[in-house]
Amino acid sequence: MPVLMIGVKCSRFRAKAAHFSGHLPTAKCTFSGVVSVDLKRFQDSGVPLVECPDCARTRSLTPHKGVLRFPSHDQRKIQTPNTMPRWVRGQTGWDPVGAERPTELSTG
């Protein structure tokens, strides 16, 4: 009696369809890991979004065990400008941008 291998044929068809669909697998971004921002400063800013310095993808971060970590992610495909309040890495470190900064009270 012949054995039907429906699952095998379906998976082969899906593999061929993916191969011919023209979609290429998305490359992983090279940036991930610890974001060196003082946790009090991060939490006081009220801005949870952090922008990847390599591909500009944003992620909402929360501290885990006292550390902010940017997860491994696919490279951002569409290069539209980010306008949301977020943390970005500049030449001197990480700073919030696009958000109103609290004004310092003068003590004089």
Structural contact between residues 35 and 70, judged by C-beta atoms closer than 8 angstroms: yes
Claim: this prediction has a pTM higher than 0.85 = no
> What's residue 104's pLDDT?
47
Structural contact between residues 97 and 85, judged by C-beta atoms closer than 8 angstroms: yes
> What's residue 100's pLDDT?
64
Q: Provide block-wise average pLDDT over 10 residues at a time, the chain (108 residues).
A: 52 53 75 94 95 94 93 89 93 87 48
Our CA angle for 59, 86, 27, nearest 5°, is: 40
| First-to-final CA distance of the chain | 95
DSSP 8-state secondary structure symbol assigned to residue 2:
P
Alpha-carbon distance of 1 to 10, in angstroms, equals 21
